[in-house]
Amino acid sequence: MIVRPYGDTTGDGMVQVSFTLPIPHSKVAEGAAAQLAAKMGMDPAMVVHARPMGPGFTFFVVYGRVSHLVDTDAVEVVERDYPLLTPAEVNTAIRRSLRRRMVVVGACVGTDAHTVGIDAILNVKGFAGEKGLEYYREIKVVNLGAQVDVEQLLARAVEEGADAVLVSQVVTQRDAHLLHARQVAAAFAAAYPDGGRPLLVVGGPRFEESAAAGLGVDRVFGRGTTPGEVASFLADRVAARAELAR
Ligand code: B12
């Protein structure tokens, strides 16, 4: 299907963008914002909001028309390739495939101190009306918290005999999230040279779900992930691994 953006009337092509320029707020700054928007293909481009951000920066919102069409048939997405299960079904699947509890070790690695996301997945109180992994009888959760070194994470995962390692990365400055995800993948690959490493799952609001293979991990979860999705994924993959080992 071919669509174009909608602002005031259907198909009018109106969009809104926001950005910051490293110049103090002035008429020239607003003109610069309009010039940038025009170069981005917005015509006409209206600066509808400009606000100083400290002495040397200005934040802008620009509203304007673009002429581009988008083709939804050309959009590529990572489809869910595992069934969504209830907690009872996850527990049953784990019991059947592992015949013991699944061990999940989670952490925010590097300097990242944003624990709300990993806690939303792991803590019993959960997220979006779903209980976290701690609620699942057949999952043992070891949540290491924030600012964990990759070596510490690896050592604990080995000590616990982890089936899965969950890594959260929220800060993306200078692509720190990608760097840390790759460091985790490399450390586990080195520690398990013959394969058999735990499932590696990374998550955070600015990851592309399609990035898993390039990062060397088994799955990437993005913004809005719910604990049930993660539990269902883990149950599915652990069952597949157990099947292979038989
Ligand atoms: C709360 C918060 C903080 C709190 C964190 C408290 C805590 N204990 O976590 C405090 C005040 C400490 C903080 C500090 C900083 N913050 Co802050 N913070 C936020 C804020 C407002 C909300 C983040 C949050 O809790 N979201 C709610 C959770 C539920 O969502 P989520 O993290 O996306 O998690 C979901 C998914 O992504 C996914 N998920 C996440 N992790 C994982 C892991 C796995 C395995 C899986 C499966 C899924 C998964 O599942 C979750 C549920 O759906 C964001 C802005 C925003 N609105 O997002 C900025 C933000 C993340 N912070 C930012 C910054 C810059 C900082 C500081 C550097 C500020 C400073 N100059 O000091 C410091 C850094 C500290 C550090 N060393 O990390 C920036 C990051 C920018 C960037 N590009 O990297 C943001 C985006 C704000 C901004 N716009 O500038 N911050």
CATH entry, 87-245, from 3.30.750.24, 3.40.50.9100, 3.30.43.10, 3.40.50.280: 3.40.50.280
Q: Three-state DSSP class for 241?
A: helix
For the chain, the domains span 2-72, 87-245
42-46 long-range contacts, CB within 8 A, separation 24+: 42/15, 42/17, 42/66, 43/67
Q: Is 207 in the pocket of ligand 1 (CB under 6 A)?
A: no
Q: What is the pLDDT of residue 119?
A: 98
Whether the full predicted model's pTM is greater than 0.85, yes or no, is yes
pLDDT one-digit tens code per residue, 152-206: 999 999 999 999 999 999 999 999 999 999 999 999 999 999 889 999 999 999 9
Q: 170: CA distance to ligand 1 center in Å?
A: 5
The residue nearest atom 63 of ligand 1, judged by CA position, is 171
Atom of ligand 1 nearest to the CA of 111: 77
Residue listed under structure tokens 């057949």: 138
171 to 48, 174, 210, 243: CA distances (angstroms): 29, 9, 19, 37
- The residues assigned a catalytic role are 125
pLDDT one-digit tens code per residue, 220-244: 999 999 999 999 999 999 999 988 8
Q: 99: CA distance to ligand 1 center in Å?
A: 37
Domain formed by 2-72, architecture: 2-Layer Sandwich (3.30)
Q: Is 123 in the pocket of ligand 1 (CB under 6 A)?
A: no
Q: Is 18 in the pocket of ligand 1 (CB under 6 A)?
A: no
Q: Is 92 in the pocket of ligand 1 (CB under 6 A)?
A: no
The percent of residues above 90 in pLDDT, for the chain, comes to 94
Q: Is 137 in the pocket of ligand 1 (CB under 6 A)?
A: no
